[in-house]
Amino acid sequence: MPSLIERCPSCSNRLEVRELQCAACGLELRGRFEPAPSNPFARLTPDQQAFLRLFVMSRGNLSDVERTLGVSYPTVRAKLEDLIRAVGTAIAPPPLPTPSIPPTSPLPPTPPAAPAQQAQPEEPAAPPAGSSSGAGSRKEVLARIAAGELTAEQGLTLLRQTGR
């Protein structure tokens, strides 16, 4: 059985269904009937239906559709946009995922860049009070960098001085 014709073959305007008939008992209904609104694919043109079939068979890969049709990517994209409009679905970008685990500690603010005339390297900061060695252990230096007490350069200088 052929599918319902939606457009007039002469002028391309929408056709109305005015009569329905039961194949089993012959009952006839007359009036104005609309295609089911729950099926947006019923109103697609034959070209749109063919494109939809190809799109699905290509698993949504527009490059495959492009090669099969022998047209440019923008042409395939335009056909897809036309199909989306015909189905009545608005294009909305997917929401960006939100991180489910907040960061454990915020990064310390970046110190402002030193002016060009201060090209001399800074001396490493003094070790915390009560520290037995001049630089402290590697873990202590890394903790001080993480806490913002030392810059990365200062910490590296301390680690190099102690050989750690």
Checking if the pLDDT of 153 tops 60, the result is yes
Phi, psi of 19 (to 5 degrees): -145, 135
| Residue 99, token pair as written in the block | 């991180």
Residue that terminates a domain, selected from 53, 87, 121: 87
Checking if the pLDDT of 133 tops 50, the result is no
In a domain, 143, yes or no: yes
In a domain, 12, yes or no: no
pLDDT at 160: 82
pLDDT tens-place string over residues 13-44: 878 888 889 999 999 999 887 766 667 777 78
Residue 137: which domain range? 130-164
pLDDT at 137: 80
Total number of domains constituting the chain: 2
In a domain, 24, yes or no: no
Residue predicted with more confidence, 86 or 134: 86
Mean pLDDT of the chain: 75
In a domain, 163, yes or no: yes
Residue that terminates a domain, selected from 22, 56, 87: 87
Residue that terminates a domain, selected from 87, 119, 142: 87
In a domain, 115, yes or no: no
In a domain, 125, yes or no: no
pLDDT at 27: 92
Checking if the pLDDT of 59 tops 60, the result is yes
In a domain, 123, yes or no: no
- Give Cα separations from 20 to 16, 30, 58, 118, 120 (angstroms): 12, 6, 37, 90, 92
pLDDT at 18: 86
pLDDT at 148: 82
In a domain, 35, yes or no: no
Cut 0.85: pTM above it: no
* Rounded-to-integer distance, Cα 5 and Cα 12, Å: 11
